[in-house]
Chains A and B, each alone.
Chain A
């Protein structure tokens, strides 16, 4: 039922896609993207987001708060920590570099700091830079 609704909608209408007159508002086609989920110590999200934008130019990212629960493998003792989660959408060709950058800038090379994972997305639209929206409006 849900799939049927999507096919009928104007968003996925192939004639709409082919029309260059509406190309500015047409959602992107399927492509290869990677979703990076980075779980890091609390308080580091903002600086990592800023470093990500400054060093790699990636702005399609957001951070939110979470709590982490882990186990000590030796004593089976549970511990909890405040965390921040950074979710990044990036083109597949750049994913490995961004993965590497986030690992070190989030300080994940220390015990119990967190982890980073890479998943797959086949259609996506990143955050539009502010200067692009300004130039379109003028």
Chain B
């Protein structure tokens, strides 16, 4: 039985951060959810860079308005989601954005009690 002040912590999670042109995020989220991601969080940002003038005609064709996506994925699915997002966001094209993923030491969210109980039973059985 979980105590009121206890947290079920998940490990082996990865945070995928993807920065894309404004308006492109929805297509990227669709690709990520199709690849197995449970969801994504999106916010706006303004991007700039020293090489921006090389990416378009005098730099004016590159839209500085960006969307940043946070996708939290299990470690074993992260590479697959990363690759699908990379393709969907067309990140092999100059000026389209960038993507990186970093390990999370731990993360916590609401875990239904029945699922938490099932996992604690399994861990008890495995010693």
Please, how many residues of chain A have a CB less than 8 angstroms from a CB on the other chain? 32
| Cβ-defined contact, A115 with B109, below 8 A | yes
Tell me if B72 counts as interface (CB < 8 A to partner A).
yes
CB neighbours (8 Å) of B112 from chain A are: 111
Tell me if B7 counts as interface (CB < 8 A to partner A).
yes
| Cβ-defined contact, B15 with A37, below 8 A | yes
Tell me if A28 counts as interface (CB < 8 A to partner B).
no
| Cβ-defined contact, B105 with A34, below 8 A | yes
Tell me if B102 counts as interface (CB < 8 A to partner A).
yes
| Cβ-defined contact, B41 with A104, below 8 A | no
Tell me if A6 counts as interface (CB < 8 A to partner B).
no
Which of these, B5, B29, B43, B72, contacts A66 with CB under 8 Å? B43
| Cβ-defined contact, B39 with A108, below 8 A | no
A85 to B39, CA, bound (A): 15
Tell me if A49 counts as interface (CB < 8 A to partner B).
no
Tell me if B99 counts as interface (CB < 8 A to partner A).
no
CB neighbours (8 Å) of B107 from chain A are: 115-118
Docked complex: B65-92 residues within 8 A CB-CB of A: 70, 72
0/1 string, B39-76, CB within 8 A of A gives 1: 11111000000000000000000000000001010000
| B interface bracket (residues with beta carbon within 8 Å of A) | 20 to 34
Q: Which residue of A lies closest to B13 (CB)?
A: A117
| Cβ-defined contact, B109 with A37, below 8 A | no
Using A39-B70, A103-B7, A104-B5 as known contacts, say yes or no to A119 and B102 having CB atoms under 8 A apart.
yes
Q: Which residue of A lies closest to B33 (CB)?
A: A71
| Cβ-defined contact, B108 with A108, below 8 A | yes
CB neighbours (8 Å) of A37 from chain B are: 15, 70
0/1 string, A91-119, CB within 8 A of B gives 1: 00000000110011000111111111111
| Cβ-defined contact, A67 with B39, below 8 A | no
| Cβ-defined contact, A69 with B39, below 8 A | yes
Chain B residues in the interface with A (C-beta under 8 A): 5, 7, 13, 15, 29, 33, 38-43, 70, 72, 102-110, 112
